[in-house]
Amino acid sequence: MAALRTVSALLDAKAQADAAASKTWLCHVANAVAEAVPEGGFQGFGGAQVSEAEKASVAQIATPLGVSAPAGT
């Protein structure tokens, strides 16, 4: 989390015009990773696309970046 806070501060300081978009993009990458493989179920059926633990992880990534977690997380 400290590294994400550092990245956030660097983006704010060095790339002000693109900082918000870059932080949002990073959070969307984390969400895409969480959505890559469904959790639980049997042979790809049932289960959840994103587990509660993955949703919490994406939210934890969004917090130090100062952005909202993507919808659905």
Q: Is residue 47 part of a domain?
A: yes
Task: Evaluate if residue 33 carries a pLDDT over 70.
Answer: yes
> Whole domain around residue 29: which residue ranges?
2-65
Q: Is residue 55 part of a domain?
A: yes
pTM: 0.79
Question: Cβ–Cβ contacts within 10 Å for residue 65, how many?
Answer: 23
Tell me phi and psi for residue 39, to 5 degrees.
-100, 140
The predicted pLDDT at position 51 comes to 87
Task: Evaluate if residue 63 carries a pLDDT over 90.
Answer: yes
Number of domains in the chain: 1
Cα–Cα distance, 18 to 57 (Å, whole number) = 24
Q: Is residue 72 part of a domain?
A: no
Nearest to 55 by CA among 31, 23, 29, 36: 31
Candidate ranges 10-19, 28-37, 64-73; pick with highest mean pLDDT: 10-19
Q: Is residue 46 part of a domain?
A: yes
